[in-house]
Structure 1
Amino acid sequence: MSTGRIRRGLAAGAVTLAGAVLLALAGPGVGSAAAAAPCPGHKVRTLGFSTGKVVLYKKRGYVCAVTYSKTPGARKSMSVSVQARGSRPVRDKGNFTRLAGPVKVHSGHRCVWVKGSVGRGSVSTGWILC
């Protein structure tokens, strides 16, 4: 073997070793997002109300919604509903600790009506995203 090959092999080994050491020192999860979004697509609207919020996402003709509680922890009555104009609403309702949903409907270019509640607080939009 020539000295050029040996030097290249040693350099490649050193780079690999340095990368492994950096990954070990950084640990898992460094630089990653805190939590993945429950719905695909981009966030288009946040609807706040006294006890929580409803977050709407949109991707390729679909609208997805999630209701979040302002005070997660104890189980409380929560709901989320999305209805595309001309269709039936899609709902998630129950006693949850942190969020209700996600619920997703195909809206195409139609308007949607979104409702959400946490305990006694609620929001209802009327026809939006037309």
Structure 2
Amino acid sequence: MLAVCLAAGALTVAAPGTGQADAASVCTGRPAKTVAFATGELRLYRTRHYACAIAVAKAPGARRYMSVQLQPRGGRAAVDEGRFTRQAGPVTVHALNRCVRATGNVGGATVSTGWILCR
């Protein structure tokens, strides 16, 4: 009985950190645009109603400041920022019939798109 409880406790500790990170690491929809910059890539995805963005480091490893911002025209920006090892995001906004603009930052290098993905 004690072995079962210990095993269940180990699963509880290990599962949230691994499963949630994998599930939240990608955007849904079709790839719409990728913008490369010195330290990473800003990737944008689009579905019929939503746009999604992530900023991905070219060289994952040590924790460093990363951010991604996605704003629909006339709407509020969605932002994810912090010290990450691989990527910032995903962030998603409602973008039906609206342009979006995105900004990505990995380790101090920044890229911005201007208004894109207009329909």
TM superposition score normalised by structure 1 = 0.71
Corresponding residue number in structure 1 for 2:109: 121
Kindly provide the CA deviation profile for residues 21-79 of structure 1, in whole angstroms up to 9, marking residues without a partner as x.
xxxxxxxxxxxxxx887111110110111010011111121000010001101000000
Matched residue type, 2:92: K
Determine which structure has more spread, i.e. the larger CA radius of gyration: 1
| Distance in 2 between residues matched to 1:88 and 1:104, nearest whole Å | 11
Which aligned pairs between 1:22-37 and structure 2 lie closer than 5 A? none
Instruction: Give 1:112's match in structure 2, choosing from 87, 90, 100.
Output: 100
Q: What SS class does the counterpart of residue 28 from structure 2 fall into?
A: coil
Q: Does residue 80 of structure 2 align to residue 92 of structure 1? A: yes
Measured after TM superposition, the shift of residue 109 of structure 1 is 1.1
Partner of residue 51, structure 2 = 63
- Tell me the TM-score normalized by structure 2: 0.77
Q: Which runs of 4+ in 1 moved over 2 A?
A: none
Instruction: Say yes or no: does 1:48 pair with 2:36.
Output: yes
Q: List alignment gaps of at least 5 residues for structure 1.
A: 1-34
Matched residue pairs, number? 96
**Identity rate of aligned residues, in percent?**
52
Structure 1 position 90, deviation (Å): 0.4
